[in-house]
Amino acid sequence: MQKTGLPKQSRRTFLKQLGAGAALLSLGPWAHGPLVRGQETLVIGMANPLATFFGEAAEKALRLGIQEINAAGGIRVGDTSVQLELITSDSAGRADQAPIALQDLVGRGADVLTGFFFSEELVGSLPAIPVLRKLFLGTGASTPAATIQVASDYDNYKFFFRVGPINSFLILEAALTFAVGFLERGLGWDSIVLLAEDAVWTKPITDGFPVLLQAVGSKLQVADAIRYAEDTTDFTALFNRAVSAMEGRTGGIYTIMAHTGTRPTAQWAAQQVPLPMVGINVQAQDGRFDQLTQGAAESVVTFTSGARAPITEKTIPFVDAFAAFTDFKPEVTIPSYNAFASYDALYLLKAAIESAGVLPKDEASTTAVIQALEEFGKRDAEGNPTNLFVGTSGNLGFYERGETGVTLLRPDQDFPHDVRYGPGLAEGIWIQWQGGQQEVIFPPHLATASFVLPPWLR
């Protein structure tokens, strides 16, 4: 299993590194000091790999949401209308750069932090959370490391909430639901080959998938589990291994990819691998994926947080507004999973601030906003989540401290401040590329199309 504790790095060492990083960053255009702003402005600081589609999509979602909120009168705190402002910093997808990006944002006046796409970024930044003591709304990284820290050291890690996606243990359960409910019972598959990039977030999935399939009595078998280095350039041998493992079986390749989906997809189609490709391929969320893979996207399936489907009454309006928003990155027209989470995080923050009646400008007021956020999804006497927030990706709430049994693989571990998973909550959907479009194929009540095989298998 993945190690979910803090990296072997003392807080003193971390502070020294931040000091060195801040010295380098001070050479940038913000060298003249933090932003000067009035008391009626709340500054949101986003740390993300800015040069990637996922950094661009998250920033576009935040800029759209901020424009909407400001145009509607801002956040109401008493008789005051608070306007939002966004600043960004490049976390570069690296564990060592991510905490420096957070320090940069705080040094420039950020009141609330959000972002991160790579789980390695979040793991590398864990020591920063108790030092900076700023509310951090996670919107991209799925490692459960941060919320496990909330459970074990609440006073220092209460600042972290994951608005999306669901954590990697829960992604495993979503993958299990799709595998059993759709691949096995719907398509009649009896086997899959797991093809996973060797990253922090994929380890619980490749380790746990066979265990959980057996636990739920599924007849679906994992014929092989292939983990590959993220710098792999030639997938021919891996595809040959998958085909060999599937000989005499019915099924396909089940991908578990976030950082590397484009290259294997292009080679899979070029080689006409005689196995469908389904699973989690985060790069396939990019609206340009078909062009990036030179047409190889056809029939590729991926898991995501939302699409143009009636998940809630907010989903389709957000997708359409995102496509029409041309003030930033007009070429990015389809929101990624972390764009849905970023937009929802902004409106959740607004609701929590208005409920608390204070701005998170210091630790006392930040704690009040944290307590307001904790009310979303709080259980009633029967254990049912209440006060759910209607977001674009589902009805959102957070797990509570001491609430165990939320995952099949780690039933004794609680994950406070993780977004709740389940039907009607942050459930997720499965989309397939068909004719250059993303179509929903699962769950059935949201489906816009039926599953299709790759062109060479039709």
- Residues 6 or more apart in contact with residue 292 via CB below 8 angstroms: 262, 283, 286
Residue 287: both structure tokens together: 């609206």
Q: Helix 236-245 crosses helix 262-270 at what angle (to 10 degrees)?
A: 70
What is d(CA 404, CA 414) in angstroms, rounded to the nearest whole number?
Answer: 5
Using the predicted structure, report yes or no on whether residue 314 has a pLDDT greater than 80. Answer: yes
**Domains 11-165+325-396 and 169-304+428-457 agree in fold:** yes
* Architecture field, domain 169-304+428-457: 3-Layer(aba) Sandwich (3.40)
- Residues 6 or more apart in contact with residue 131 via CB below 8 angstroms: 11, 14, 15, 18
Instruction: Output the pLDDT for position 19.
Output: 46
Quick: pLDDT tens for 21-74: 443 333 333 333 344 344 489 999 999 999 999 999 999 999 999 999 999 999
Residue 288 pLDDT level (bands cut at 50, 70, 90): confident
Using the predicted structure, report yes or no on whether residue 18 has a pLDDT greater than 60. Answer: no
In three state form, how does the secondary structure of the chain look?
A: CCCCCCCCCCHHHHHHHHHHHHHHHCCCCCCCCCCCCCCCEEEEEEEECCCCHHHHHHHHHHHHHHHHHHHCCCEEECCEEEEEEEEEEECCCCCCHHHHHHHHHHHCCCCEEEECCCHHHHHHHCCHHHHHCCEEEECCCCCCHHHHHHHHCHHHHCCEEECCCCCHHHHHHHHHHHHHHHHHCCCCCCEEEEEEECCHHHHHHHHHHHHHHHHCCCCCEEEEEEEECCCCCCCHHHHHHHHHHCCCCCEEEEEEECCCCHHHHHHHHHCCCCCCEEEEEHHHHCCCHHHHCCCCCCCCEEEECCCCCCCCCCHHHHHHHHHHCCCCCCCCCCCCHHHHHHHHHHHHHHHHHHHHCCCCCCHHHHHHHHHHHHCCCCECCCCCECCCEECCCCEECECCCCCCCCCCCCCCCCCCCEECCCCCCCCCEEEEEECCEEEEEECHHHCCCCCCCCHHHC
Chain centre to alpha carbon of residue 186 = 27
Residue 204 pLDDT level (bands cut at 50, 70, 90): confident
Q: Which CATH superfamily is domain 11-165+325-396 in?
A: Response regulator (3.40.50.2300)
Instruction: Output the pLDDT for position 132.
Output: 97
**Residue (of 347, 391, 390, 343) closest to 64 by Cα position:** 343
Residue 200 pLDDT level (bands cut at 50, 70, 90): confident
Q: CB 90: neighbour CB atoms within 10 A?
A: 18
Residue 5 pLDDT level (bands cut at 50, 70, 90): very low
Quick: pLDDT tens for 358-395: 999 999 999 999 999 999 999 999 999 999 999 999 99
Q: Helix 53-71 crosses helix 315-324 at what angle (to 10 degrees)?
A: 100
Instruction: Output the pLDDT for position 188.
Output: 97
Check if the beta carbon of residue 165 is closer than 8 Å to that of residue 205: no
**Domain residue extents for the chain:** 11-165+325-396, 169-304+428-457
Cα angle, residue 299 at apex, residues 242 and 344 outer, rounded to 5°:
105
Residue 291 pLDDT level (bands cut at 50, 70, 90): confident
Give me the residue label for tokens 């020294």: 16
Average pLDDT on 172-190 reads 95
**How many CA atoms does the CB half-sphere of 210 hold within 13 Å?**
12
Using the predicted structure, report yes or no on whether residue 443 has a pLDDT greater than 50. Answer: yes
**Residue (of 89, 159, 94, 162) closest to 130 by Cα position:** 159
